């Protein structure tokens, strides 16, 4: 059954436009409280990123939960993976994150974690949507939920992050630039990397409610690239607004994306004898990562784009490592969700173990050029059944052979067909991508 409000990663949109409004969040808090009360669930955690609207929505959610008789513990600005971790360790029955991740400040959203620190099951999301359509009520005054603030949440999470690598490792000779995207890791990430011994230069660590993800962070690493060169740093770490994505920069100022980081972590796990199952990527994962993993005798299995789908396949195949090129990396042997700080620590541990630089580690994977062309459409098209499109795809696939790949997929949010071609020859890839996009466009028009 389809959902009215919940997408693949909670609910998200522009502040002030339904459903990202205070009245909706009030009702959502109440509906959530009704479901948790049914499930026999007690205290709920609420955390947020640094958007100015987070304070408004935090109050609305708290009021709604209180009206349903559910206690809340407020964490303040905290990374999304920290809320997943604290939901488990504080024995909360659920965790709520107010965030729009890598989006601009004028967007916001909400996502939930179960008591195990994983995404909320579909059946509970359906129940919440059922109550959203019911009249709101309030429990007797004596039964109203109570709220309190947790003062040591940041310290608890910092200690957890550090515990994911050996305490014997010494990083005192490492100079790191850390870009916090003016988001929820601003008071977390610099402390973590300083406390493991590294020299840390922080940028994007002065949130004002409006500058989250603004020309900084994992989605826009240009400032970090310049800072790494300027400070002669060994590497740079870029997180996004809610701290669940990681992009790094090597000492030459070159970006190291999620696929390359997954490969580095996979090689470390394989060397340690801990990687017994496939690595889970997505349909967009670079072919170069697949080939590099194959040399390690590690399989890559591709999920649909989105961390929910990656996680589902990880559980199905008992995988401990998965993620996306965007930098959403899941280290299931360490935590329960994508975590930028924890993933960065695993890369630093491999640098420490091997004595190699980040540039040397990433150079062990040959990333293939990848071109994405969007074809705008006016009607829905069944790509798999369209003979003209499939014939065009086969022509390009034959030309690329085993040194390239073609992917066509419909956008889930816009009237677009996304045409992706990758291969070893950059000029050929560009030519084939635009040729295929024209063929798709002509086939649809015909």
Task: Name the residues annotated as catalytic.
Answer: 101
Could you tell me whether strands 147-149 and 72-77 are parallel, antiparallel, or unpaired per DSSP bridges? parallel
Contact yes or no for 215/269 (Cβ under 8 A): no
Decide if 180 contacts 217 (C-beta within 8 A): yes
Q: Tabulate helix, strand, coil % of the chain (nearest 5).
A: 40, 20, 40
C-alpha dihedral (280, 283, 284, 289), degrees to nearest 10: 40
Residues 27 and 136 sit within 8 Å (Cβ to Cβ) = yes
Label residues 327-350 b or e (16+ Cβ within 10 Å = b).
bbbbbbebbbbbbbbbbbbbbbbb
Q: Does residue 100 contact residue 241 with C-beta atoms inside 8 Å?
A: yes
**Strands laid side by side in the 11-14 sheet:** 11-14, 107-114, 94-98, 44-48, 72-77, 147-149
Residues 112, 29: Cα–Cα separation, whole Å: 11
Read off the tokens for 385: 């059944």
Over its C-alpha atoms, the chain yields an Rg (Å, rounded) of 23
- What would the DSSP string read from start to end of 376-427? E-SS---GGG-HHHHHHHHHHHHHHGGGEEEEEEE-SSSSEEEEEEEES-HH
Is the distance from CB of 173 to CB of 92 less than 8 angstroms?
no
Sign of CA dihedral 217, 154, 61, 40: positive
In contact, 359 and 254? CB cutoff 8 Å = yes
Number of helices and strands in the chain (H, E): 14, 18
Round to whole Å and give the CA distance between 219 and 213: 8
Which uninterrupted H or E stretch holds 200? strand 199-203
416-423, strands of its sheet edge to edge = 370-376, 416-423, 404-410
């Amino acid at each position: 059954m389809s959902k009215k409000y919940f997408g693949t990663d909670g609910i998200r949109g522009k502040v002030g436009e339904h459903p990202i409004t205070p009245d909706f969040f009030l009702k959502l808090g109440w509906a959530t409280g009704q479901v948790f009360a049914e499930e026999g669930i007690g205290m709920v955690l609420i955390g947020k990123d640094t958007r100015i609207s987070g304070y408004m929505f935090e109050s609305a959610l708290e009021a709604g939960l209180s009206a349903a008789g559910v206690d809340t513990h407020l964490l303040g600005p905290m990374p999304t993976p920290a809320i997943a971790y604290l939901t488990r360790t504080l024995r909360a029955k659920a965790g709520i994150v107010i965030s729009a991740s890598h989006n601009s400040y004028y967007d916001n959203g909400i996502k939930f974690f179960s008591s195990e620190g994983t995404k909320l099951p579909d059946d509970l999301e359906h129940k919440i949507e059922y109550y959203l359509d019911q009249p709101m009520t309030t429990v007797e005054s004596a039964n109203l939920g109570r709220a309190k603030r947790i003062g040591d949440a940041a310290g608890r999470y910092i200690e957890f992050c550090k515990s994911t690598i050996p305490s014997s490792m010494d990083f005192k000779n490492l100079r790191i630039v850390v870009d916090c995207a003016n988001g929820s890791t601003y008071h977390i990430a610099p402390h973590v990397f300083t406390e493991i011994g590294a020299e840390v230069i922080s940028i994007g660590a002065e949130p004002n409610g409006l500058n989250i993800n603004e020309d900084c962070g994992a989605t826009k690493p240009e400032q970090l690239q310049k800072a790494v060169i300027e400070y002669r740093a060994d590497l740079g770490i870029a997180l996004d607004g809610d701290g669940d994505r990681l992009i790094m920069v090597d000492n030459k100022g070159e970006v190291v994306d999620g696929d390359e980081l997954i490969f580095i972590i996979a090689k470390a796990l394989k060397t340690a004898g801990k990687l017994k199952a496939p690595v889970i990527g997505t349909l967009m994962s670079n072919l170069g990562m697949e080939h590099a993993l194959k040399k390690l005798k590690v399989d890559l299995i591709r999920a649909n784009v989105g961390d929910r789908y990656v996680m589902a396949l990880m559980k199905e195949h008992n995988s401990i490592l998965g993620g996306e090129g965007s930098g959403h990396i899941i280290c299931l042997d360490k935590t329960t969700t994508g975590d930028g700080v924890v993933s960065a620590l695993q890369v630093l541990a491999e640098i420490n173990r091997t004595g190699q630089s980040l540039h040397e580690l990433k150079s062990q994977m040959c990333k293939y050029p990848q071109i994405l062309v969007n074809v705008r459409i006016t009607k829905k098209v069944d790509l798999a059944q369209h003979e003209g499109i499939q014939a065009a795809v086969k022509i390009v696939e034959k030309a690329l052979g085993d040194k390239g790949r073609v992917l066509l997929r419909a956008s889930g949010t816009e009237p677009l067909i996304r045409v992706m071609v990758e291969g070893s020859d950059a000029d050929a890839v560009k030519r084939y991508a635009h040729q295929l996009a024209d063929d798709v466009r002509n086939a649809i028009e015909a």
